[in-house]
Homo-oligomer: A and B are copies of this chain.
Amino acid sequence: MDKFEAERRFAESRVARLATLGLGERPHLVPITFAVAGGAIAWVVDEKPKRTKALRRLANIRANPNVSVLADRYDEDWQRLWWVRADGTAAILEGGPDRGRAVAALTAKYPQYTEQPPTGPAVLISVDRWSWWSAAPGALR
């Protein structure tokens, strides 16, 4: 897997996991739906029911913008395992054209957003480093 292939697999993944830094030096983890647009990772707080309106992931990013995002593939044939990780810096956009572009990218990837567009803040992650691993380096799948 080369960088081009790693970024392709990441961008095509339907779900990723976002790690932020929480209170008390604790990592915090949630799954996200996301899109890669203009080299950055975008996700938008949406209408999926949440445990609370004051999202920990946003509070954490405000306190420390360092984030890690992971996409992976599990298969019972462990020769088919792979993962791709993006380490980067997150910025929260409450509005404006960049938020609009993030919503458009998300909606293009997920038809689910057509019916119920996400209304919350967007988060744009500029990727400082891509890392990847594949059990079968030569295979494309």
Q: List chain A positions with a Cβ less than 8 A from chain B.
A: 14-15, 17, 19-21, 24-31, 48-51, 64, 66-70, 72, 74, 76, 78, 81, 83, 85, 87, 112, 131, 133, 135
Query: Are A17 and B17 within 8 A (Cβ)?
Result: yes
Question: Which single member of B19, B25, B66 contacts A66 (CB below 8 Å)?
Answer: B25
- Known contacts A19-B19, A31-B70, then 10 further A-B pairs from the complex at CB < 8 Å, ordered by chain A residue: A14-B74, A19-B68, A21-B25, A27-B66, A28-B68, A29-B69, A30-B85, A48-B78, A48-B81, A49-B133
Residues in B with CB closer than 8 Å to A135 are 48-49
Residues in B with CB closer than 8 Å to A27 are 19-21, 27-28, 66-68
Query: Are B29 and A70 within 8 A (Cβ)?
Result: yes
Give 7 nearest A-B pairs by CB, closest first. A19-B27, A15-B74, A19-B19, A29-B70, A31-B72, A29-B68, A26-B66
Residues in B with CB closer than 8 Å to A68 are 19, 26-29
CB A43 to nearest CB in B, in angstroms, measures 14
Residues in B with CB closer than 8 Å to A51 are 131, 133
